[in-house]
Amino acid sequence: MRWTIKPKPDKAAIELLQKGLQVEPYVASLLVQRGITDYDQARLFFRPRLEDLHDPFLMKDMDKAVDRIEKAISQNENILVYGDYDVDGTTAVALVSSFLKNTYDQVATYIPDRYDEGYGISYKGIDFAHDNDFSLIIALDCGIKAMDKVTYAKDMNIDFIICDHHRPGEKIPEAVAVLDPKRNDCEYPYKELCGCGVGFKLIQALGSKSNLSIDDLTSYLDLVATAIAADIVPMTGENRVLAYFGLQVINGSPRNGIKAILKQVNKSSFTITDVVFIIAPRINAAGRMKHGNYAVTLLTESNFDQATQYASEIDQFNTERRDTDKQITEEALLQIEENQEQDRMTTVVYNEHWHKGVIGIVASRLIETYYRPTLVFTKSGDKLAASARSVRGFDVYNALEGCSEFIEQFGGHKYAAGLTLDPKNYGQFKNKFESVVEKTIDPSMLIPEIVIDMELSLDQVTPKFYRILSQFAPFGPGNMTPVFMAQSVKDTGYVKCVGEDDKHLKLTLTQNGTSKYGAIGFNLGHKKGLVENRKPFKVAFTLDENHWNGNVSLQLKIKDIKNQ
């Protein structure tokens, strides 16, 4: 791994903030790195307020969306709330549909089948709306490129409101309203909302027409926080406010569906990391292994006993998902070795029998072994479908645009995308993707990077410092967990490998013969030789609490070890 130490912020800015907040200089330095340079910005960072959320009517077409929904309600129209099958889509559908159903009962939900219909708005979904007399579809987390589908619906006298957060193409669908902060003509101040976040802005706007305050809508924020965490959008600005209060709901009074999921694990409080690794995979497993409807049903269930039953079913889906992605990952790694493709700039693998629901996870797993832009293909009907994942700093969406002559459709983000193509184009696409990446990627991006916030001595690691650091949460892109470096540290002589196959490293660190801290290095068992016999070394680490036998102590979570 390559270690990149962030540039030290402006000294004057650090001193100014240090005086204003009465904190240690290294705390002030961490804040300045995050763009926080004065007392008011620090107050917003440490004490987010719901009042800091933007007026939803600043979003292009919001007034049109609200007017159309109010018209539908006044004229007793049937409304179909339509969303993608992943966490962002299913939480958004649960949010908007449950909000509307509070005052209006002619509302139904629709999640496309991942295997039969594929991603986004489908002709089958529009036909369902037509056959069941729906005249308004609210599409969430999808639709920004569905020009033909929206036109098809319009010919059937079905109106669309699109709530999306993906990059638009050159044209915008001719819907009644298109809510997407990434539209070039949208002046909404915050561009990085997830799909569920855009859905929340819609209910915020609708609620304001009924004199509902933002406090009246906080019960929906457990859904929004879950979507923010799962979709890996920046944990900045409005997202951070929504996630902050959403975590409070998750830890205080979550909806029955989320409460039932949390009941399955032995924890009393939950962080954004827990949302990513406990709640999100289970919700996602429904759409991956069976159908996204299971997730929406769970998230909108009002009876806790029934929600517990649904959560148990979804937990089983998640177990199946884990077994499936483990098997496919092993097969994909074998394919790379057999084809002798270890030295390519990209990983592109294909097997027509691989489960479409887990190829995105498999792509992420492959990056753990071969750190490079990765595509995993499988058969989907008479087409090939792929999930793309990227490495830090490289825009895989742009790379796919460079191969567009071989792609039938694609969409996504900088680091994750999906696409379909004709099987006959697979070989040409694979070669073109390798060529585009080779020409555009900085070779250093192919070496995993640890970004270090600052050097820290172990005597600066105190419970008080950790308490302050904890208030930097929730963490995510744009506000990552601070990573520190300590030099000339030694193990006290009791280093050992622990865990299955001795994969992990457990040690006690000391520096200058004083401060001692317990440390754990996950998947670093192979580095034991670097720290034995009290040799000096340097570590990159984050801070964590270790709970053991009722005792709580500070520990270092080691990310990497290097010779001094």
- Tell me the HSE value of 453 on the side-chain side, using a 13 A CA sphere: 21
Comparing CA positions, the residue from 374, 364, 441, 377 lying closest to residue 408 is 377
The neighbouring-strand residues paired with 349 are 376
In which element (H, E) is residue 476 found?
Answer: none
User: Which pLDDT score, from 0 to 100, does residue 450 have?
Assistant: 95
User: Which pLDDT score, from 0 to 100, does residue 114 have?
Assistant: 86
User: Which pLDDT score, from 0 to 100, does residue 486 have?
Assistant: 96
The neighbouring-strand residues paired with 420 are 385, 409
User: Which pLDDT score, from 0 to 100, does residue 167 have?
Assistant: 86
Inter-residue contact 307 to 301 (CB < 8 Å) = yes
User: Which pLDDT score, from 0 to 100, does residue 11 have?
Assistant: 93
Phi, psi angle pair for 537, to nearest 5°: -155, 175
Q: Give the whole-angstrom CA distance, residue 156 versus residue 386.
A: 32
Q: Give the whole-angstrom CA distance, residue 168 versus residue 85.
A: 20
Per residue, the 3-state secondary structure of 144-170, as one string, reads CCCHHHHHHHHHCCCEEEEECCCCCCC
In which element (H, E) is residue 306 found?
Answer: helix 304-338
Comparing CA positions, the residue from 157, 149, 208, 177 lying closest to residue 65 is 177
Phi, psi angle pair for 534, to nearest 5°: 55, 35
Q: Give the whole-angstrom CA distance, residue 109 versus residue 104.
A: 14
Per residue, the 3-state secondary structure of 3-31, as one string, reads EEECCCCCHHHHHHHHHHHCCCHHHHHHH
Q: Give the whole-angstrom CA distance, residue 402 versus residue 413.
A: 15
User: Which pLDDT score, from 0 to 100, does residue 513 have?
Assistant: 80
State the pTM of this model. Answer: 0.91
Please list the rounded mean pLDDT of every run of 10 residues in the chain (564 residues): 93 93 93 93 94 96 98 98 96 98 97 88 97 98 95 97 93 97 96 97 97 96 97 93 98 96 90 94 92 96 97 95 96 95 94 94 95 96 94 94 93 87 96 97 94 94 93 93 96 91 93 87 93 94 86 91 93
Q: Give the whole-angstrom CA distance, residue 181 versus residue 79.
A: 24
Domains of the chain with bracketed CATH: 2-6+450-563 (2.40.50.460), 56-313 (3.90.1640.30), 339-446 (3.10.310.30)
User: Which pLDDT score, from 0 to 100, does residue 116 have?
Assistant: 86
